[in-house]
Structure 1
Amino acid sequence: MAKKIVTDLDVAGKKVLVRADFNVPMKDEKITNDDRIIQALPTIKYLIKEGAKVILFSHLGRVKEEADKEGKSLKPVADRLTELLAKEVAFVPETRGEKLENAIDALGNGDVLMFENTRFEDIDGKKESKNDPELGKYWASLGDVFVNDAFGTAHRAHASNVGIASNIESAAGFLMEKEIRFIGESVDNPDRPFVAILGGAKVSDKIGVIENLLEKADKVIIGGGMAFTFFKAQGKEIGTSLLEADKVDLAKDLLERAAGKIILPIDTKVNKEFSNEGDIKAVPADQIPADYMGLDIGPETVKLYERELEGAKTVVWNGPMGVFEMTNFAKGTIGVCEAIANLNDATTIIGGGDSAAAAMQLGFAEKFSHISTGGGASLEYLEGKELPGLAAISNK
Structure 2
Amino acid sequence: MAWKTLDDMDLAGKTVLTRVDINVPMENGVVTDDTRIRRIVPTVADIRAKGGKPVLLAHFGRPKGQFVPEMSLAPLVPALEAAFGAPVTFVERPSREALDALPADAIVLVENTRFTPMEEANDPQMAQFLASLGDVYCNDAFSAAHRAHASTEGVAHHLPSCAGRLMEAELKALEAALSNPVRPVVAVVGGAKVSTKLDLLGNLVAKVDHLVIGGGMANTFLAAQGIDVGKSLAEHEMADTAREILAKAEAAGCEIILPVDVVVAREFAANAANETVPADACPADAMILDAGPETVARITATLEAAKTLIWNGPLGAFEIEPFDAATNAAAARAAALSKAGKLVSVAGGGDTVAALNKAGAAEDFTYISTAGGAFLEWMEGKVLPGVAALEN
1:141 maps onto 2:132 in alignment = yes
**Equivalent residue for 1:104?**
99
TM-score by length of 1: 0.92
CA contact (8 A) 1:62 1:68 kept: no
Identity of aligned residues (%): 47
**Equivalent residue for 1:349?**
346
**Equivalent residue for 1:117?**
112
Measured against aligned partners, the alpha-carbon deviations of 1:90-143 in whole angstroms (never above 9, x if no partner) come to 122x2x35xx5554122222210111222222xxxx322221222222112111
**1: CA distance, partners of 2:320 / 2:114:** 33
2:171 to 159, 180, 185: 180
Counterparts of residues 55-204 of structure 1 (less than 5 Å)? 55-64=55-64, 68-70=68-70, 72-92=71-91, 94=92, 96=93, 101-121=96-116, 126-204=117-195
**Equivalent residue for 2:233?**
242
**Equivalent residue for 2:357?**
360
**2: CA distance, partners of 1:66 / 1:277:** 46
State the AA in 1 paired with 2:18. Answer: V
| Secondary structure in structure 2 of the residue aligned to 1:46 | helix
Per the TM alignment, residue 27 of structure 1 is displaced from its structure 2 partner at its CA by 1.8
Per the TM alignment, residue 299 of structure 1 is displaced from its structure 2 partner at its CA by 2.8
**2: CA distance, partners of 1:246 / 1:3:** 43
1:275 maps onto 2:287 in alignment = no
**2: CA distance, partners of 1:55 / 1:65:** 21
Measured against aligned partners, the alpha-carbon deviations of 1:269-327 in whole angstroms (never above 9, x if no partner) come to 22323333533333221111222222222233222211121121111101111222223
Per the TM alignment, residue 195 of structure 1 is displaced from its structure 2 partner at its CA by 0.8
Per the TM alignment, residue 59 of structure 1 is displaced from its structure 2 partner at its CA by 1.2
| Secondary structure in structure 2 of the residue aligned to 1:221 | strand
| Secondary structure in structure 2 of the residue aligned to 1:47 | helix
**Equivalent residue for 1:15?**
15
In the alignment, structure 1 segments of 5+ residues that lack a partner are none
Measured against aligned partners, the alpha-carbon deviations of 1:36-56 in whole angstroms (never above 9, x if no partner) come to 111111111000111111101
CA contact (8 A) 1:352 1:371 kept: no
**Equivalent residue for 1:326?**
320
Q: Which moved more, 1:3-12 or 1:102-111?
A: 102-111
CA contact (8 A) 1:69 1:120 kept: no
Measured against aligned partners, the alpha-carbon deviations of 1:193-221 in whole angstroms (never above 9, x if no partner) come to 11111111111222222222212211001
| Secondary structure in structure 2 of the residue aligned to 1:278 | coil
Per the TM alignment, residue 68 of structure 1 is displaced from its structure 2 partner at its CA by 5.0
| Secondary structure in structure 1 of the residue aligned to 2:151 | helix
Per the TM alignment, residue 246 of structure 1 is displaced from its structure 2 partner at its CA by 2.7
Distance 1:27 1:332, change over 3 A: farther
* CA RMSD after TM alignment: 1.9
| Secondary structure in structure 1 of the residue aligned to 2:44 | helix
Per the TM alignment, residue 89 of structure 1 is displaced from its structure 2 partner at its CA by 1.2
CA contact (8 A) 1:47 1:110 kept: no
Measured against aligned partners, the alpha-carbon deviations of 1:228-254 in whole angstroms (never above 9, x if no partner) come to 110111100011222223321111121
In the alignment, structure 2 segments of 5+ residues that lack a partner are none
**Equivalent residue for 1:254?**
245
CA contact (8 A) 1:16 1:53 kept: yes
TM-score by length of 2: 0.93
CA contact (8 A) 1:271 1:294 kept: yes
**2: CA distance, partners of 1:276 / 1:69:** 40
Q: Which moved more, 1:278-287 or 1:201-210?
A: 278-287
**2: CA distance, partners of 1:161 / 1:67:** 20
Per the TM alignment, residue 258 of structure 1 is displaced from its structure 2 partner at its CA by 1.8
1:300 maps onto 2:291 in alignment = no
CA contact (8 A) 1:169 1:394 kept: no
**1: CA distance, partners of 2:241 / 2:214:** 17
